[in-house]
Structure 1
Amino acid sequence: MKRFKNILYVSEEGVDQASALARAVTLAENNQAELTVIAVVPRIPGSKGTADGVPDSTGLQATLESEQRQRLESLIDPHGQRINIARKVFTGKAFLEIIRAVLRHGYDLVIKPAENPDFLARLFGSDDMHLLRKCPAPVWLMKSQEKSNYSSILAAVDFDPLMAGGEELALNEQIIGLSASLALSDFAVLHLAHAWEAFAEGKMSVWGGDPAAAATYVENERLQHESGLYQLGEWLRNRIGSEAYDYLAPRFHLRKGQARKVITALAGEVQADLVVMGTVARTGIPGLLIGNTAEAILEQVQCSVLALKPAGFVSPVKLVE
């Protein structure tokens, strides 16, 4: 299934990105999509040249950009016979220039090797987190030494059974549909996961009362969440057809607990190569993986992540500021 038409790959200097670019090239081939590879170099503050021949900031900036173009050429060269790859070098703050490129050229997927800062246990760095929060296009952050084919893909969905539908449902369907497409192309196991909580359970315990009533309440909550998860499974069956669905045989995981703990633990349990999740929801949609919950998961997982935004998301980054 062709899902992408215009893919942006962001070069990340200082990490091994050969496997990440190879996967981006293959994805572009399979989708018959345009592929652009970019690098962003920092802007050197203005300064005057010195008497001993040290170049001024303009000369240093030009040298820095030229060297980066040469690095891009070397990176792209092994794939030059497969597809036509555009390449560009931007100057400025990395995440801002990446998002502006998306806004300017309508890229429908951003692929980037994770920064993997040495001083943090988490996989993703500052620019990565800015992209996950603010980029309007899906962002696929890949580990160094990325697999050419995934074995296990975890799709994390969340919803309030009493408020299912609309934007929330559309995002969950986007997560599951894309995860299934990738799992089918990679012959990977697909895991559909949902974390749920019975929010009044604690109050009922504090207030006392009928233990049987409390147990019934919790079980009813579980059943509602279970129904919502399996409804998404049926949507997927209808979307891809029974034959493909039966071949895919997605595995359902309904776990009680906080999403930040459940999804992180489950990703390790199923040895996920990729977690597909939503990172931002618009005001008024409770229950989605947003804000601190999403970031807590992202700071703990040690696999690649594909993060999606709801339809209508507007980036706070502007083309001109």
Structure 2
Amino acid sequence: MIKYRHILVVIDPVADSQPALHRAVSVAALQENARITLFLAIYDFSYEMTSMLSSEERDEMREGVLQGREEWLKTLLEPYADSNIDFQLKVVWHSRPFEAINQQVQEQQHDLVVKSTHKHAMIQSFIFTPTDWHLLRKCPCPVLLVKERDWPMGGTVLAAVNCCSDDEAQEALNEKIITESAEVARLLSATLHLVNAYPITPVNMALELPDFDPHAYNAAVKKHHERALYEYAVRFNLESESLHLHEGLAEEVIPQCADAIDASLVILGSVGRTGLSAALLGNTAEHVIDKLHCDVLVLRPDV
């Protein structure tokens, strides 16, 4: 049974509202003995460049800034004064927020990171990878990226799986996604749906192989995916109406399916590419996020 009891909320230092905090409180309210840590990483390069101050004076100025931001965090908790949730505050001085977040997760063993997100310009995403993309690749625990839409009780949760691979690691990730999705759906009294995208027949195969029958190939691929999806449905007691199999790219199919069933939450896996492949290809989770109008819970494979 999945429990998100030790939640880290990444606070946006410039936003008027904090949807991530609101969502974290909603998640914690579904648990027992939940604890939420409000986390803020701040950095001002001007404090490091000042030559008129001694190192001790710079430390004191930084400490003053940290204390001021901690007082601001306390004001964010005023609407939740009557809740039974254990709130903690953590403000750190760090120039790379995603590294500070991951360090906090590892040191304090958080089991969920909640962060609000917004659309990223493609050129910016390519050159300066946003904090949430770094989290998808490196964060050791699940990451919930929040948009401005609430989770209604009795709504719909969409779990995205990849049935095209016989790879054991992918199968294990599929099971993790469905298991956690089923638990989240249970907590929300929601209906769980599964979506899987199967690939379009490669054009070059039809051109290079004279005897190649694209229709037969496509039918065979679809049948393979149908069988795999059906097996998951049987194991997890899902109705056939909650299964969605579509031809196309996952980053196109998943958002379209989420819109069609009015999903309030999409749950998917991230393989966490790094290096050149991440810069050039990203991964499905990263491509999907900007196209969704609902929250996204991203799970990493078990180590």
Q: What TM-score, normalized to structure 1?
A: 0.77
Aligned match for 1:197, one of 196, 199, 216? 199
Q: How does 1:308-319 map to 2 (within 5 A)?
A: 308-312=299-303
- Contact kept, 8 Å, 1:9 with 1:110, in 2: the verdict is yes
Give ranges in structure 1 of 5+ residues lacking alignment: 238-244, 284-289, 313-321
Q: How does 1:204-283 map to 2 (within 5 A)?
A: 204-209=206-211, 211=213, 214-237=214-237, 251-280=242-271
- Contact kept, 8 Å, 1:201 with 1:218, in 2: the verdict is no
Distance 1:251 1:16, change over 3 A: farther
Tell me the residue number matched to 1:168.
170
Q: How does 1:55-70 map to 2 (within 5 A)?
A: 57-70=58-71
Distance 1:2 1:198, change over 3 A: closer
> 2 CA distance for matches of 1:208 and 1:88?
64
The letter of the residue matching 1:224 is: H
Aligned length: 286
Q: What TM-score, normalized to structure 2?
A: 0.82
Q: How does 1:99-118 map to 2 (within 5 A)?
A: 99-115=102-118
CA shift digits 1:112-169 (9 cap, x unpaired): 12255699999xx8111111111111000111x34142633221111335x15x3212
Distance 1:22 1:58, change over 3 A: same
> 2 CA distance for matches of 1:61 and 1:99?
22
Tell me if 1:149 matches 2:152.
yes
The letter of the residue matching 1:60 is: M
- Contact kept, 8 Å, 1:280 with 1:291, in 2: the verdict is no
Q: Once the 2 structures are TM-superposed, how far is the Cα of residue 78 of structure 1 from its aligned partner?
A: 2.4
Distance 1:201 1:234, change over 3 A: farther
Tell me the residue number matched to 1:136.
140
Tell me the residue number matched to 2:183.
181
Distance 1:73 1:115, change over 3 A: farther
Distance 1:28 1:61, change over 3 A: same
SS at match of 2:30: helix
Q: Once the 2 structures are TM-superposed, how far is the Cα of residue 186 of structure 1 from its aligned partner?
A: 2.4
Give ranges in structure 2 of 5+ residues lacking alignment: 275-280
Tell me if 1:291 matches 2:294.
no
Distance 1:119 1:220, change over 3 A: closer
The two structures, once aligned, show a CA RMSD in angstroms of 3.1
**Identity across aligned pairs (percent)?**
30
- Contact kept, 8 Å, 1:102 with 1:137, in 2: the verdict is yes
